[in-house]
Amino acid sequence: MKIPGTVALVTGGASGLGLATARELLGAGGKVMIVDRPQSDGETVAGELGANAAFAAADVTSDAEVTAAVRTTVERFGAIHINVNCAGVGAAMKTTSKGGPMPLEIFSMAIQINLIGTFNVLRLCATEMARNTPNADGERGVIVNTASVAAFDGQIGQAAYSASKGGVVAMTLPIARDLASIGVRICTIAPGTFDTPMLALMPDPMRQALAAQIPFPPRLGQPPEFAALARHIVENAMLNGETIRLDGALRMPPK
- Positions annotated as catalytic residues are 161
Q: Are 69 and 33 in contact (CB under 8 A)?
A: yes
Helix (H, G, I), strand (E, B) or coil at 42: helix
Q: With 0-12 CB in 10 A as exposed, 13-18 as middle and 19+ as buried, what is 125?
A: buried
Amino acid, res. 99: G
Quote the CA–CA distance of 142 and 185 in Å, as a whole number. Answer: 5
Helix (H, G, I), strand (E, B) or coil at 116: helix
Phi, then psi, of 61 in degrees rounded to 5 = -85, -5
Quote the CA–CA distance of 130 and 134 in Å, as a whole number. Answer: 9
Q: Are 199 and 223 in contact (CB under 8 A)?
A: no
Nearest Cα neighbor of 192 from 253, 143, 249 is 249
Instruction: Find the farthest-apart pair of alpha carbons in the chain and give their distance in angstroms, rounded.
Output: 60
